[in-house]
Amino acid sequence: MLPIFYKMAFQSFIIVFNSRNHLLVNILSIIIFSFFISQSFAQEKQKVDYKHLTYLPKSYNTDTSKYPLVFYLHGGSQKGNDLEKLKVYGLPYLVDQGKEFDFIMVAPQCPEGKYWSTENWFDSLYNEVTSNYRIDKSRVYVTGISMGGYGTYTAALDHPKKIAAIVPLCGGINDSDTTRICTLKDIPILTYHGTADDEISIQETERIAASLKKCNGNIIFHRLTGKGHGIQYLYETEPWIYEWLLMQRKTKSNK
């Protein structure tokens, strides 16, 4: 059952739908109702606490400023109960190798038998991190690869008011979520996908981009000609990813 305010909102859409401007009303109804459904999805999932790695910038303890926050979501092979597995590639690998960033990075670990979309891990981790560290809540980002790419989209779909931008690599959206893609229209997206990916087809990202185009979404889609599934090297070779992320900011009107 949807909460009463969801019902009231949807009923108001039906009333307005009977007005003359059917096309505009249809578009607005889809976008707004998608937001209500997204909130319902997040609330219905079981809230859980996932183990995680945390990285603080070198300057964190020497100043009093607030820092951007990046959630990094690993791929399927790093599932489990051993945080050392997260250091194989991606942001945890770079941090382990001594790479320094100007943001706080948190990398949760998805348990075996689960996916990033199975449970609501985001709320508890977000609340923990924002309570314990100086976080600029207008600059909260999510990035991930493969299964983590799917998880990046899901986190943004379920929590569109908290996330300022996302960078999913070779990811996609579950078929059950395609009706709410327009929930992402106000979240800047930078995504990469190899044309020769034989594990997650580039068509997964193409259908997201096509849907967002219809509702005027903000997506930068890099097709990597001839590249396969293993594009984790981008975290090391494409500093533009971090430069682009840190330029994005939630405004007060869409928090």
Over residues 54-111, the pLDDT tens digits come to 999 999 999 999 999 999 999 999 999 999 999 999 999 999 999 999 999 999 999 9
Say how many domains are in the chain: 2
Q: Are residues 79 and 180 in the same domain?
A: yes
Q: Contact at 8 Å (CB) between 172 and 101?
A: no
Q: Which domain holds residue 13?
A: 1-44
Q: Are residues 103 and 178 in the same domain?
A: yes
Question: Which pLDDT score, from 0 to 100, does residue 41 have?
Answer: 56
Burial label for 176, CB within 10 Å (0-12, 13-18, 19+), is exposed
Residues 6+ apart with CB under 8 A from 226: 194, 195, 196
48 confidence band (pLDDT: 50, 70, 90): very high
Tell me the per-residue pLDDT of 201-239, one tens digit each, with 9 for 90 and over. 999 999 999 999 999 999 999 999 999 999 999 999 999
pLDDT tops 90 at residue 178: yes
Asked whether the whole model's pTM tops 0.85, one would answer no
Question: Which pLDDT score, from 0 to 100, does residue 252 have?
Answer: 67
Q: Which CATH number is 119's domain given?
A: 3.40.50.1820
- Rounded distance between C-alpha atoms, residue 211 and residue 131, angstroms: 36
Q: Are residues 173 and 187 in the same domain?
A: yes
Q: Are residues 11 and 113 in the same domain?
A: no
Q: What is the mean pLDDT of the chain?
A: 88
Question: Which pLDDT score, from 0 to 100, does residue 45 have?
Answer: 87
Q: Contact at 8 Å (CB) between 138 and 164?
A: yes
Q: Are residues 68 and 96 in the same domain?
A: yes
Helix axes 22-44, 147-158, angle to 10 degrees: 110
Question: Which pLDDT score, from 0 to 100, does residue 21 have?
Answer: 53
157 confidence band (pLDDT: 50, 70, 90): very high
Q: Are residues 30 and 127 in the same domain?
A: no
Question: Which pLDDT score, from 0 to 100, does residue 44 have?
Answer: 78
Q: Are residues 167 and 179 in the same domain?
A: yes
Q: What is the mean pLDDT of residues 6-34?
A: 47
Q: What is the mean pLDDT of residues 175-192?
A: 96
Q: Are residues 127 and 25 in the same domain?
A: no
- Rounded distance between C-alpha atoms, residue 207 and residue 187, angstroms: 17
Picking from 13, 28, 44, the residue at the C-terminal end of a domain is 44
Q: Contact at 8 Å (CB) between 78 and 85?
A: yes
